[in-house]
């Protein structure tokens, strides 16, 4: 039986690499990854995939490169995971964020449409950041109120995905994913900053971590659970929008408690410095998702409890730092 072909933008990001692992483990996929040009060729998240996936050069700001990638790969499924994904940075680069995170989705949709194969399925990486200031428990019907250039850009991408579903009859899914993390998370995100910082303190390599607002709460899950949900959405008869979330929310303080407890530290207050440079012009204080629709229709549920997620991340950073010591 011939394999399905999947094209993943953002292949070397956290989710892109986990999705590639998931599809390859299934055994019935050939995986292509879109990678933009960079000065060095080291991509730690996909180093283990060398020879197992095909990398194509392309950029979400470059329409023709996307069309070429679609032609070369002839995909059955396209997962648009590429983005300027760091909310904090979106205030310093609002235009670039809108171009890549917002218009990038439009460009991928247009490349698929231009290519003309109506059977290609499209997944858009939408975000709970689109809910922004809404507060409370959110599902697919909750009104959006984005409050960062990143959130606004994601909302554009979300709506253009729905629009292409409705105006062009495309199979175009939007996964509204709440925060998910893993040992492959970028170092500027708060969970990785904490796991890396706690590991350094544990190994005597640092004496504090500088953070911003410790009172914000997030619905944090484990990325490998979430990429399975993305794939499940793409296997449905009809395309739709789905929330993926754990249904639990935890503050940054809770994350710190769990991370420091893992290395035997109960009172972590002396290890944390607050630095105003990590505060945001507008803060999303609270995110909590209701993934009932995904549970009922897709049969998806998160498998990794919060405590395990924190432990996986701290344990991994201790291992990495010990190897490099
Ligand atoms: P990530 O680790 O930051 O990965 C983003 C990827 O996008 C990277 O591979 C990056 O490539 C690529 N990229 C950036 N600009 C590009 C461009 N101009 N052209 C092509 N590729 C470009 O993000 P993630 O956490 O895996 O998230 C995956 C997607 O889900 C993102 O769209 C994110 O916004 C969205 N999302 C994430 C979460 C979450 O909690 N993780 C929740 C909801 C939605 P480089 O390595 O070259 O920079
Ligand atoms: N990054 C960072 N660094 N965040 C901090 C810090 C710090 O030093 N101190 C406190 N925080 C707080 C932020 O203010 C925010 O309230 C929370 O920690 C989480 O910040 P991030 O880890 O940067 O993630 P995010 O929630 O803004 O965005 C992530 O989740 C979105 C889904 O809701 C990203 O993965 C987005 O791409 C994703 O769409």
**Residue 35 known to be catalytic:** no
H-assigned helices in the chain: 14-26, 63-73, 94-97, 104-115, 149-168, 190-202, 223-234, 252-262, 292-293, 306-324
Phi and psi based region of residue 62 (left: phi greater than 0; alpha: psi -120 to 50; beta: remaining): beta
Tokens of 157: 């991408």
Q: Show the CA angle centred on residue 179, arms to residues 236 and 196, nearest 5°.
A: 135
Of all protein residues, the one whose alpha carbon is nearest to atom 13 of ligand 2 is 213
**pLDDT of 136 above 90:** no
Tell me the CA–centroid distance for residue 85 and ligand 1, in Å: 5
Candidate list 30, 77, 129, 181, residue with the active-site label: 129
CATH 3.90.25.10 residue spans of the chain:
190-218+249-284+306-324
pLDDT at 207: 98
Tell me the CA–centroid distance for residue 83 and ligand 1, in Å: 4
**pLDDT of 186 above 80:** yes
Helix (H, G, I), strand (E, B) or coil at 298: helix
**pLDDT of 229 above 90:** yes
Of all protein residues, the one whose alpha carbon is nearest to atom 37 of ligand 2 is 85
Q: Cα(278)–Cα(129) distance, rounded to whole angstroms?
A: 17
End-to-end distance of the chain based on CA atoms, in angstroms?
A: 48
Candidate list 29, 79, 123, 150, residue with the active-site label: 150
pLDDT at 134: 77
On whether the CB atoms of residues 124 and 80 are closer than 8 A, the answer is yes
Mean pLDDT of 7-11: 98
Tokens of 281: 């012009």
**β-strands 77-80, 121-127: how paired?**
parallel
Buried b (16+ CB within 10 A) or exposed e, 237-246: eebbbbbbbb
Percentage of residues in the chain having pLDDT higher than 70: 100
pLDDT at 160: 98
Does any ligand 1 atom lie closer than 6 A to the CB of residue 14?
yes
Write out pLDDT tens, residues 307-317: 999 999 999 99
Tokens of 35: 């990678």
CATH of domain 4-181+221-244: 3.40.50.720
On whether the CB atoms of residues 66 and 111 are closer than 8 A, the answer is yes
CATH 3.40.50.720 residue spans of the chain:
4-181+221-244
Query: Which residues does residue 319 pair with via DSSP β-bridges, in sequence order?
Result: none
Of all protein residues, the one whose alpha carbon is nearest to atom 43 of ligand 1 is 127
Mean pLDDT of 121-130: 98
- pLDDT band of residue 287 (cuts 50, 70, 90) is very high
Q: Which ligand is nearest to the CA of 177?
A: 1
pLDDT at 74: 98
Q: Which CATH architecture has domain 190-218+249-284+306-324?
A: Alpha-Beta Complex (3.90)
pLDDT at 17: 98
Mean pLDDT of 89-115: 98
pLDDT at 310: 98
Mean pLDDT of 136-151: 96
**pLDDT of 15 above 80:** yes
**pLDDT of 41 above 90:** no
Mean pLDDT of 248-275: 98
Does any ligand 1 atom lie closer than 6 A to the CB of residue 153?
no
**pLDDT of 225 above 80:** yes
Please state the separation of Cα 87 from the chain's center in Å: 12
Q: What is the mean pLDDT of the chain?
A: 97
Tokens of 303: 């498998």
- pLDDT band of residue 158 (cuts 50, 70, 90) is very high
pLDDT at 277: 96
């Amino acid at each position: 039986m011939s394999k399905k072909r999947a094209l993943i933008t953002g292949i070397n990001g956290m989710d892109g690499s986990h999705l590639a692992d998931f599809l390859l483990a299934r055994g019935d996929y050939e995986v292509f990854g879109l990678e933009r040009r960079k000065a060095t060729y080291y991509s730690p998240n996909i180093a283990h995939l060398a020879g197992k996936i095909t990398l194509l050069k392309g950029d979400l700001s470059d329409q023709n490169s996307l069309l070429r990638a679609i032609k070369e790969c002839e995909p059955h499924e396209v997962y648009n995971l590429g983005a300027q994904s760091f909310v904090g940075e979106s205030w310093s680069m609002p235009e670039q964020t809108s171009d890549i995170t917002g218009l990038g989705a439009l460009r991928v949709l247009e490349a698929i449409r231009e290519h003309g194969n109506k059977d290609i399925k499209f997944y858009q990486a939408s975000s709970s950041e689109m809910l922004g200031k809404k507060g409370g428990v959110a599902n697919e019907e909750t009104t959006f109120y984005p409050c960062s250039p990143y959130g606004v850009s994601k909302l554009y991408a979300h709506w253009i995905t729905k629009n292409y579903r409705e105006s062009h009859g495309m199979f175009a899914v939007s996964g509204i994913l709440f925060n998910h993390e893993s040992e492959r998370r970028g170092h500027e995100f708060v969970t990785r900053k904490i796991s890396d910082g706690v590991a350094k303190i544990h190994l005597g390599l640092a004496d504090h971590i500088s953070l911003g607002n410790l009172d914000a709460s997030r619905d944090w899950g484990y990325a490998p659970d979430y990429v399975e949900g993305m794939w499940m959405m793409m296997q449905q008869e009809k395309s739709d929008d789905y929330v993926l979330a754990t249904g639990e929310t935890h503050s940054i303080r809770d994350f710190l408690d769990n991370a420091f407890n893992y290395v035997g530290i109960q009172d972590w207050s002396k290890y944390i410095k607050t630095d105003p440079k990590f505060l945001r012009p507008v803060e999303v204080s609270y995110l909590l998702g209701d993934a009932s629709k995904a549970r009922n229709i897709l049969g998806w549920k998160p498998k990794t409890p919060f405590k395990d997620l924190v432990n996986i991340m701290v344990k991994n950073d201790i291992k990495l730092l010990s190897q490099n010591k």
